[in-house]
Amino acid sequence: MQDLTIRVMRPDEFDEMRRVSVEAFGEPAIGTLLDALRSSWAWDADLCFVATIDDEIVGQVLYTQSILDAPKALEHVLVLSPVGIRPDLQGQGIGTTLITESLMAVAERPEPAIFLEGNPRYYQRFGFVAAGDLGFRKPSLRIPDAAFQVRRQPSWSNELAGTLVYQDAFWLTDSVGLR
């Protein structure tokens, strides 16, 4: 798409990014989740990416820190959530470009894995696989097995195992699993 840019969000763009995400989901609760994540230890300004056209935000994807309750020690991992594209621009490849380029940008980070819950038909194209098949346990029984997915980062180790523990913000805003 012409003039589509993927970059890290500037701090003064939070409100604009939040508005686009709420529009994408049609859910004010997504805004509350973004507020809670931004004021938590899980937030890293380098992990909030936006898609822009003519410097106007048209999409966003956020990675935050989470913990894997692994047998030997707690491990830091990333969670991809939320991702949203402005409704009138969905289905035109922006989400694919945003996720692909942001995954390249986070590939050299120390966290060995990125988890998410979502539709496997969409996320498998980015290298996400069923996390349960690799032995991971999901943070809620309300997440369908197929929706609980993981992407192996370059720093991945085959010994990685354990239960994903979501950051508080996901629980406090009731953003986990299906109701």
Binder to ligand COA among 56, 93, 144, 155 (CB under 6 A)? Answer: 93
Q: List % helix, strand, coil for the chain (3-state, nearest 5).
A: 35, 30, 35
Of 5, 96, 124, 157, which one interacts with ligand COA (CB under 6 A)? 96
169: Cα within 13 Å, side-chain hemisphere = 21
Residue 120 engages ligand COA in binding (rule: CB under 6 A)? no
Minimum CB distance to ligand COA, residue 100 (Å): 9
- Residue 144 touches ligand COA, criterion: CB under 6 A: no
Rg of the Cα trace of the chain?
Answer: 15
Please select the residue that binds ligand COA; options are 118, 127, 132, 177, rule is CB under 6 A.
118
Which of 50, 83, 106, 114 lies at the binding interface for ligand COA (CB under 6 A)? 83
Helix (H) or strand (E) holding 96: helix 94-106
Task: Build a one-symbol-per-residue string for 43-82: x at contacts with ligand COA by CB under 6 A, - elsewhere.
Answer: ----------------------------------------
160 binds ligand COA (CB under 6 A): no
CB of 120 to ligand COA, least distance (A): 9
**Residue 44, number of CB atoms within 10 A of its CB:** 14
Nearer to ligand COA by Cβ, of 36 and 62: the residue is 62
Q: Give the phi and the psi of residue 122 in degrees, each rounded to 5.
A: -80, -45
Q: Which residue is nearest to ligand COA (CB)?
A: 95
Distances from the Cα of 96 to the Cαs of 14, 46, 86, 142, in angstroms?
22, 20, 14, 27
Q: Minimal CA–CA distance to 66: which of 178, 135, 168?
A: 168
Q: Which residues would be at the binding site for ligand COA (CB under 6 A)?
A: 24-25, 83-85, 90-96, 118-119, 121-122
